[in-house]
Chains A and B, each alone.
Chain A
């Protein structure tokens, strides 16, 4: 999709296509080399399989379980209270399907699939970055060789989430509402917060309607008069509804993905209190922020960047990102860093902002590659802020 506008008959166009394809490929390779070096520095094992297993931390084990065994019914075996229901099915299903064709270890299949999805996410971001090569290089460096690149290259949903989010926004940019709806449906089957992207779709429809001179009050009538718009809106949460139906039929509780959060000890509370508690968790020794402080800072940064998106009149993306941060923040700060770096509109905008200056862009690229090593070491070591 990202490349279709690039195919031009002249040599310059072909070179550009090659550059657009090659840049993320280079960062795939450099990222793999840096993360492998980090792995090798702390592990006695060697080889790609050992590397893939070492990077499979925290929620990764749940996705492997779903991919290999599916979801449990109730009661859960082994006297466990914690079902896999809280983890959405699309990505583990895709990995299971690919594994059926390429019968390797699940984590190997998932690691390669994640890298392919992240590479594809970069290609889709090219038109979203207004074909700004400097911003594109920076974005690819962040996603594939950056400090959080392990999130996008192991068995977590981040790579697919970023890819599908980018697909939705690209489709909206081109006013292809049905394509946006279908991508949204897949996004809502990837993570619960994916369902919020429907607001971005409606906001884009409203913007287009207003640009045509429509009156605000007549907008619902305008939408109702266009069945393809209705389908685009109604199909957006289809992934979530399909999963809800599946859980009702297997567990008896369509909202098991929400209710199982009790077994993870998640308690609904005031997001502001959670943020304050996180910021107040000062380090007892040294000056480096604690894991709760990093999580709180990530949430605040994410919300601030969402406000910047709104200021740049990208209201749909701003609302989507803010909701994707606020919803998990209602329970606590867990995984907040991962959730924020997995919001494509924020990282795309950050790449655009940083690319405004050549020097800053270069410094950021170097920083991303350097930080990749140390953050990978921290991830493998189980550093709590990166969960």
Chain B
């Protein structure tokens, strides 16, 4: 029997094996591509990394807080403030905690209150001419509660009422700061690096009605 007759079946087998391997590779790659195009991630991951609709990666972090306590966001209160910072902050530094990006969040655990709360914040604007003011919109648990325009380098005390409607039955207070006039370090820089305010201190009190 000539060698070619023996070799032929092996050649066919090798060829078929090659095609089978190619098919497995192609199939696997298509499946992996399909999986990658349909990520199995939570809404916070999607908003920050994929859709890029926020610069503040929300996290499951809630700090404890006692009403009437003033929390310093300067270097001296760094440890205390760290537990209530969720995202969108850089520092603490000597002049406060700097906002980073287009939104920052704080979150604290609070007792259920019928009459709402009064928030008192000390904040300063980040200024780089021609931008000399910073507009900040503050929301609590998704409800817009206050808007302020900061100007000047010196910290300013901002007080506002958090109505019961914003508190609802929630056990935590999620305070979001949206910055409308953030300053990017360079024109081409990512919006995650925008600077808007320096938060100096934070305080909550029970709202007292007459």
Contacts and interface: CB of A to CB of B under 8 A. Distances in A.
B195 to A, nearest CB: 13
A259 B45 CA distance: 10
Interface string B28-39: 110011011101
B19 interface: yes
A234 B49 contact: no
Q: Identify which of B36, B48, B61 gathers the most chain A CB atoms within 10 Å of its CB.
A: B36
A237 B188 CA distance: 32
Interface in A250-275: 251-256, 259-260, 262-263, 265-267, 269, 273-274
A254 B32 contact: yes
Contacts of A262: 48-49, 52, 190, 192
A267 B48 contact: no
B50 interface: yes
Contacts of A248: 32, 35-36, 39-40
Contacts of B29: 234, 237-238, 241
B32 A245 contact: yes
Given A74-B41, A241-B29, A267-B190, A81 B15 contact: no
Contacts, number: 93
A285 B124 CA distance: 34
B189 A252 contact: no
Contacts of A256: 49
A265 B49 contact: no
Given A75-B60, A255-B36, A265-B192, A231 B45 contact: no
A228 interface: yes
A102 to B, nearest CB: 34
A252 B41 contact: yes
A262 B45 CA distance: 12
Interface string A219-241: 00000000110110011011001
Given A234-B22, A266-B190, A244 B49 contact: no
B: interface residue count bin: 20 to 34
Contacts of A79: 59, 61, 85, 87
Contacts of A274: 188
Contacts of A255: 36, 39
Q: Identify which of A74, A231, A269 gathers the most chain B CB atoms within 10 Å of its CB.
A: A231
B21 A231 contact: yes
Contacts of B25: 231, 234-235, 238
Q: Identify which of B19, B52, B57 gathers the most chain A CB atoms within 10 Å of its CB.
A: B57
Given A253-B39, A256-B49, A230 B188 contact: no
Contact of B48 (A81, A227, A245): A81
A276 to B, nearest CB: 11
A230 to B, nearest CB: 4
Interface string B1-40: 0000000000000010111011001101100110111011
A231 B52 CA distance: 38
B189 A265 contact: yes
B48 A228 contact: no
A238 B21 CA distance: 13
A227 B188 contact: no
Contact of B188 (A254, A260, A263, A277): A277
Contacts of B207: none
Given A227-B15, A248-B32, A253 B190 contact: no
B158 to A, nearest CB: 26
A74 B45 CA distance: 8
Nearest to A246: B32
Contact of A227 (B18, B33, B36, B60): B18
Contact of A254 (B39, B57, B59): B39
Interface in B154-210: 188-190, 192-193
B32 A263 contact: no
A159 interface: no
A237 B91 CA distance: 42
B22 A332 contact: no
B188 A332 contact: yes
B32 A241 contact: yes
Given A228-B18, A231-B21, 17 more contacts: A74-B41, A227-B15, A231-B22, A231-B25, A241-B33, A247-B36, A248-B36, A248-B39, A252-B40, A253-B39, A254-B37, A255-B39, A262-B52, A263-B192, A265-B190, A266-B190, A267-B188
9 contacts: A74-B41, A234-B22, A241-B29, A248-B40, A253-B50, A256-B49, A262-B190, A262-B192, A274-B188
